[in-house]
Structure formats: C-alpha cells, structure tokens
Amino acid sequence: MNKKIVGVCLGLAVWSLVAGAGTETPEQFAARMKPWRDARFGMFIHWGPVSIKGTEIGWSRGSQIPIEEYDNLYKQFNPVKFNADEWVSVAKAAGMKYIVLTTKHHDGFCLWDTKQTDYNIMNSPFKRDVTGELAKACRKQGLGFGTYYSTCDWHHPDFPVTSPGGSVKRPVSNLDRYTEYLKAQSGELVKNYGPLFTLWFDVPQHFDAKRGQGVIDYLHTLQPNLVINNRTGARGDYETPEQHIGGFNMERPWETCMTICNQWAFKPNDSMKSLKQCVQTLLNTVGGDGNLLFNVGPQPDGLIEARQVERLKEMGAWVKRNGEGIYGTRGGPFKPGAWGVSTRKDKTIYVYVFQAKDGVVRLPAIPAKVKSARILKGDKVKFTQDDAGIVITLPATAADPIATVVALKLNSPALDVPVCDVK
Ligand code: H79
C-alpha cells in the first residue's frame, strides 16, 4: 500500500471513531424517524402489581402505600384475564399503530423475564412473560411494539434516591453500577423483544447527558435504527410533552403522552375524557405535527376497563372515517387554534373545523392554487380563493360535532405552503 492510501484509510478510521454511531445527517435522521412519525397515534399502557391497590404507579410507593406493602404486591399479582391479543385488538380498533408498555416503572418491578433481577413477573403467581406475549401479539396484528423503561428506579439498592417520589437520599449508592444494570435490562428488551418501535425512558434523575448518551450509543449497537425519547439525560430523538399538547413544531419530532382518565395506572371510577375530548386531543396533536401516545391503565385482572374499551372503539370509528388526513401526514400549514387544525400530505391540505361561524371558514392566503374542496369521503363544498385568503362554506348537512373535515386539493405540494396562523 502506498503512503497516500494508508493515510486515507487512517483518516477514515479516525473519522469513524470520532463520529461514532451517534452521527447522522438530517436526511438519515428523517428516514429513521419516518415510520414513527407516520404512525401518529399509539397506545401507552401503565400496568403492574400496584393496579391491585388502584393508586398511582411508582408515586404511591412510600406515600399512600407503605414501601414494605407495595414491594410485596407482586406476590398477589395474578391477572388471569390478561390476553395480549385482546389488548392489541383494542388498540387497533382505536386506530392506534403502536403500543408502548411500562416494562419497569419507578417502582422497579419488571414485567418481563429479566435475568438481571428476581423482582419480576416470573416470580408472581402469574408466571407469564406479559412483555413477550404483547410483543408477539403486536407483531402478529401488525402494530409497532415499544417499551417504556424508567431511568430512575426508587427500588434498586444502587440508585441514589428512593421513595416516596425519589425524595429520600440513599446513604450508600453506586450510579455506575446501576447504569450497567439499566443497560443490561434495556439491552434485554431490545434483544429479546426487538426490533422495538421505540424505547421510552422516563425521569433521568441523576443522569446527565454523557451518561444518557452512553446508554443510547449502546442500544444503537444492538438496533441501529432504534428511536429513543428524550428522557435518558441526553437529547434523544423526540420531545415528550406530558399531559398537555405540544406546541406546533415541524423541526423537532414530538409526542404528547396523555391519560384517557386522570391516573396513569388503573384507578376505579376515575373520570374519563369524553369522545370529543379524546378525538380533539388527537387532532390538536397531529395538527401541531406531533404523535399522541394515549394511555390506559388495565385492571389487576388483566382486562382494560370496559368503558375505556368502548371509548377507544368510538374514537377509532371516527379516526378511521377520517384516517386519510391523519396517518402519514405532517402538521399545518394552518396552525391549530380554537377554530380547528390542519394536516397535509402530497398535494392535499386536510382542514379539521371545530368552530365555524355560520358555517363559514376563513383561512389565510397561501401561495398555491386550491383546485377543489370536498368533505372527506363526501361531496364537494363551495369555496373562493383570492389575495385575501380562502373562504369555505360548509353545508349544514356535513357538520360533524367533533370536527368537520375538508380536503383541499392543491396544484402543488402541500408541504411547500408556509406555516401561518388563522385569525
Ligand atoms: O409514567 C408516567 C408518570 O408516572 C411519569 N411519566 C409518565 C409517563 C412521571 N414521572 N414524573 N413525572 C411524571 C413528573 C412528576 C409528576 C408529579 Fe405527581 C406531579 C409528581 C407529583 C406531582 C403525578 C401526580 C404523580 C404524582 C402526582
């Protein structure tokens, strides 16, 4: 080999070492995120032995429930009515495209057959790997399967803080050793149940960006395209507004996580959101260019509460009628507001009207020609377009109490239309 070639080889080797797995171009990032972004709507599932008590997962340890009692609940956890295929069918009926299960919450209990601790579902009376069963059912029914894994662990002896709520400092701890445990466990999730749709970390107490990036880089050696949220301590791939809808953002991917009732884990008679609230939450999210991870907390017997199943099915019926303007779309160009929201794909803008005075919708001017306007899966509607903007007249017969959906066909790509406010 001549000197020049040796030099180039060395240069490349050094560059790849420095660049590492963490470096990707914006185009590579967009490609890696595309399946996750296109899905738009997923099911979050918060579940564990604490469902027996009906108090909040993780947080009620050492507060409403004494630590000693909380940590022994798994000895009675026997969700004999658990059926992974049924959970997946419910998610599918709701129009959801992926599921994220709490494999380990802040309380440290593991819902899979982990080799890293005995504090797991295989040592409950149930003795079934519910994570494995759910992963398999998702694959079978064509949904993405992702795992929630709490970064903080108030049960683990090496973690710096403990319950209640991580407010108590442990006299002796070892964060490096805990990090090895976390890597071994999240590695098991990827290796045994992957490829995963996402890995959803939570509450990176005591983790800084360097420690978090170490976890991310390790997981990328196991699954290079793995999509990881922003709760490892490092930046990660997407933002996670919790219990509120994120602001309009087409640059940084984001996903709102929100509960169908108030509590993450099962709570008897918890107040449940109305159908309108559920659907408009999804629309306000996709209209802002985000995903929605909508949470249910199954009962201790393994069933999702019947009224929640009913609500999710109603939601699915609406979402499916109008799915063309949800999946695979991007948010905008008209920013969400009390008036409604919009999404776009190819040469179409989907306008979801929440409020229209006298059935008239006024949208700002856009640098594209509207060729036609129609109610989604319905008749053409009257519209005018001039320098002042677009005016659509909704027929009273088409009014939908949740949102009236109008598809505007343009003469050019809808993504080229600049983002604007609706006044
Ligand atoms: O798993 C769910 C929450 O337990 C977890 N993230 C979601 C996905 C979470 N951990 N920390 N936080 C959220 C932020 C802190 C929220 C709190 Fe509270 C508000 C802690 C105390 C008041 C929620 C309400 C928990 C107890 C009461």
Q: How far apart are CA 54 and CA 12, in angstroms?
A: 57
CB 305 less than 6 A from any atom of ligand 1: no
CB 333 less than 6 A from any atom of ligand 1: no
CB 205 less than 6 A from any atom of ligand 1: no
396 pLDDT above the threshold of 90 = no
* All structural domains of the chain: 19-325 (3.20.20.80), 332-416 (2.60.40.1180)
8 pLDDT above the threshold of 80 = no
Of all atoms in ligand 1, which is nearest to the CA of residue 264?
2
Query: Which range has the worst mean pLDDT, 84-98, 302-316, 392-406?
Result: 392-406
Neighbours of 217 (CB within 10 A): 13
123 pLDDT above the threshold of 90 = yes
Testing ligand 1's pocket by substitution, the residue of 50, 61, 106, 203 carrying the most ligand atoms inside 8 A of its CB is 203
CB 255 less than 6 A from any atom of ligand 1: no
10 pLDDT above the threshold of 90 = no
CB 58 less than 6 A from any atom of ligand 1: yes
Q: pLDDT digits over 36-50, tens only?
A: 999 999 999 999 999
Atom 19 of ligand 1 has which residue's CA nearest to it? 59
**DSSP of 201-232, one letter per residue?**
EE--TT--HHHHHHHHHHHHHH-TT--BBS-S
Cα 323 to ligand 1 centre (Å): 31
Average pLDDT over residues 332-361: 96
* pLDDT given at position 121: 98
In this predicted model, which residue has the larger pLDDT, 32 or 15?
Answer: 32
* pLDDT given at position 104: 99
* pLDDT given at position 399: 86
CA angle 324, 329, 333 (to 5 degrees): 115
19 pLDDT above the threshold of 80 = no
When the pLDDT of each residue in the chain is averaged and rounded to a whole number, the result is: 94
* pLDDT given at position 397: 87
Q: What percent of the chain has pLDDT over 70?
A: 95
Q: Which of 418, 422, 423, 329 is nearest to 366 (CA)?
A: 418
3 pLDDT above the threshold of 70 = no
How many CA atoms are closer than 13 Å to the CA of 365, on its beta-carbon side? 4
Residue 106 is encoded by which pair of tokens? 């802040």
16 pLDDT above the threshold of 90 = no
Average pLDDT over residues 352-381: 95
Whether the CA torsion 303, 305, 308, 309 is positive or negative: it is positive
Distance of CA 224 to CAs 13, 23, 219, 227, 319, Å?
A: 19, 11, 8, 9, 32
Average pLDDT over residues 185-194: 98
Q: How far apart are CA 135 and CA 141, in angstroms?
A: 10
> Residue 105's pLDDT band (boundaries 50, 70, 90)?
very high
Residue 341 is encoded by which pair of tokens? 């929201």
Answer left, alpha or beta for residue 95, where phi above 0 means left and psi between -120 and 50 means alpha.
left
Q: How far apart are CA 187 and CA 311, in angstroms?
A: 35
Q: pLDDT digits over 302-337, tens only?
A: 999 999 999 999 999 999 998 899 999 999 999 999
Average pLDDT over residues 74-83: 98
CB 202 less than 6 A from any atom of ligand 1: yes
* pLDDT given at position 377: 82
Q: At what angle do helices 306-321 and 84-93 cross, to 10 degrees?
A: 40
Q: pLDDT digits over 209-237, tens only?
A: 999 999 999 999 999 999 999 999 999 99
* pLDDT given at position 1: 42
CB 257 less than 6 A from any atom of ligand 1: yes
Answer left, alpha or beta for residue 174, where phi above 0 means left and psi between -120 and 50 means alpha.
beta
Of all atoms in ligand 1, which is nearest to the CA of residue 57?
4
* pLDDT given at position 6: 42
12 Cβ partners below 8 Å, 6+ apart?
Answer: none
Task: Decide: 174 and 161 in contact? Cβ < 8 Å.
Answer: no
CB 129 less than 6 A from any atom of ligand 1: no
3-state secondary structure of 23: coil
Average pLDDT over residues 96-115: 98
CB 203 less than 6 A from any atom of ligand 1: yes
Average pLDDT over residues 85-95: 98
Q: Which of 321, 311, 313, 316 is nearest to 274 (CA)?
A: 311
* pLDDT given at position 80: 98
pTM of the model: 0.94
12 pLDDT above the threshold of 90 = no
| H or E stretch covering 384 | strand 382-386
Of all atoms in ligand 1, which is nearest to the CA of residue 105?
1
* pLDDT given at position 22: 53
Task: Decide: 412 and 347 in contact? Cβ < 8 Å.
Answer: yes
